[in-house]
Amino acid sequence: MKKIVLLITLIFVSFTDAFAQVEYKIITSVESIVPNGLGRSRIVSATEDRDYKEYTSLRSDDKKEDKRNKADRSEIRVKNFEETKLLNFYNLGGIRFQNIAANDAVLTSKVNTMIEEGWELAFVTSAVESAGKGDGNGIFITRFIFKRNKE
């Protein structure tokens, strides 16, 4: 009897987890790699939602079937967001490892806070943007993608 109750409990827990609604949240860090400390570095997090469908067009080879999106690009802009200052990678003396360590401490705090709020770090992706050879300007961007079950 105990085995049957345990089996039913395991099946129930498996199904409830499978049907759980999941939500995602993206936190972006932008760290300047502009020399002489002239850039800006931040952690950015939207506090407003946007529905991508409102800004999406349907295109096809048949011009009669095209459904163009007439949305104004300014409607996409999020005016309410959280912005946390970070230090730039460079200053007048060159690369600042102390600044990198400070940014790591702030980012760790943000990640830990998200986890305390019930979010799970699902993915991390990063990239560097620079115009090319000899260009000392650019950004290092990291996206932290969190998920949690909707309540």
Q: Does 114 reside within a domain?
A: yes
Which residue segment(s) compose the domain that 36 sits in?
22-50+78-149
Residue 19 has pLDDT above 80, yes or no: no
Q: Does 57 reside within a domain?
A: no
Question: In the numeric block, which tokens belong to residue 143?
Answer: 């996206």
Residue 72 has pLDDT above 80, yes or no: no
Report helix, strand or coil for 15.
helix
In this prediction, residues 136-150 reach a mean pLDDT of 89
Q: Does 10 reside within a domain?
A: no
For residue 78, is it left (φ>0), alpha (ψ between -120 and 50) or beta?
A: beta
Q: Does 11 reside within a domain?
A: no
Domain count, the chain: 1
pLDDT tens digits, one per residue of 76-103: 888 899 999 999 888 777 788 999 999 9
Q: Does 7 reside within a domain?
A: no
Which residues in 48-71 are b (16+ Cβ under 10 Å) and which e? Answer: eeeeeeeeeeeeeeeeeeeeeeee
Q: Does 12 reside within a domain?
A: no
Q: Does 72 reside within a domain?
A: no
Question: In the numeric block, which tokens belong to residue 6?
Answer: 């345990």
Q: pLDDT class for 12, splitting at 50, 70, 90?
A: low
